[in-house]
């Protein structure tokens, strides 16, 4: 598969240089923390987490909004609100095609958060001491 | 290094079997989403993100609370509140030693979230189509 077919993965590579250092390696600066907190806030709701997971695990990596209400005990407007929060946080994107809007996750955004949260390679000295 | 020296990393291994499948692989169930949303909520505040990063990047992997107020323009009680939220979410643990309380991050919790957010290996078919 040629690089030109994978624009989203090229972006991951770019982000890795500038944004994806694990937070355990050096303290986050204030601007990065504000930006990242906004993304984590979008993930801080169980329905939004399940929506994101549902979209991402759909065959082909995208889902029609018509497929996203069935699994939830909430109204269509509530689902639409949650999808808007995910989109505004840069975690998903969407496009209208005819009657329906289709959603897909943005892999670079997930990769950024995943890299940020990478655990330390070794347990902290104190915690590994076994005294607790 | 023997396994017995790395209790925290052994827990990561256990978690990986039951909790750490990327959310893009299969839809999250409701109970897992509630649990994970609580952890992401703890990360949804810039000060808490910076505190977590500051603790994790301290030499030895732990920090005295006395080292955690200087970098912030908020009061000691506010810092203590944020540390309590991080602890209740299972992201850090703490111990009083003499005058001060010491904090360290819990690597299995970070590893769980990091694995959960692993991006798809390939861009979604539709997003890679180049039409957008």
Read out DSSP for B4-48? GG-HHHHHHHHHHHHT-S-TTTSPPPHHHHHHHHHHHHHTSSHHH
The size of the A-B interface in CB pairs under 8 A is 212
> b/e map of A103-132 (b: 16 or more CB within 10 Å)?
bbbbbbbbbbbbbbbbbbeebbeebbeeee
- Of residues A105, A2, A97, A101, the one with CA closest to residue B116: A105
pLDDT tens, residue by residue, A48-58: 999 999 999 88
**What residues of B are in contact with residue A62 (Cβ under 8 Å)?**
124-127
**What residues of A are in contact with residue B119 (Cβ under 8 Å)?**
12, 105, 107-108, 110-111, 114
pLDDT tens, residue by residue, A61-100: 899 999 998 888 899 899 999 999 999 999 999 999 999 9
Contact in structure between B37 and B54 (CB atoms under 8 Å): no
Q: What's the CA gap between A10 and A13, in Å, rounded?
A: 5
Q: Which of A43, A62, A127 has the CB atom closest to B124's CB atom?
A: A62
Angle at A42 between CA A38 and CA A45, to 5 degrees: 140
**Strand-pair category, B92-97 with B100-105:** antiparallel
Q: What's the CA gap between B130 and A51, in Å, rounded?
A: 25
pLDDT tens, residue by residue, A31-50: 999 999 999 999 999 999 99
**What per-residue confidence (pLDDT) applies to B21?**
67
Q: Which of B38, B62, B117 has the CB atom closest to A114's CB atom?
A: B117
- Of residues B44, B84, B107, the one with CA closest to residue A113: B44
CA distance A77 to chain B (A): 20
- Domain spanning A31-116, CATH class: mainly alpha
């Amino acid at each position: 598969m040629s690089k030109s077919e994978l624009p989203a993965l090229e972006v991951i590579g770019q982000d890795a240089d500038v944004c994806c250092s694990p937070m355990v390696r050096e303290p986050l600066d204030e601007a990065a923390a504000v930006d990242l907190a906004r993304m984590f806030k979008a993930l801080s709701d169980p329905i939004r987490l399940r929506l994101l997971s549902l979209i991402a695990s759909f065959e082909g990596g995208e889902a029609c909004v018509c497929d996203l209400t069935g699994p939830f005990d909430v109204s269509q407007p509530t689902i639409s609100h949650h999808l808007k929060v995910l989109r505004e946080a840069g975690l998903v994107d969407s496009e209208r095609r005819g009657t329906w809007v289709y959603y897909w996750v943005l892999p670079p955004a997930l990769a950024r958060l995943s890299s940020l949260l990478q655990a330390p390679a070794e347990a902290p000295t104190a915690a590994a001491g076994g005294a607790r």
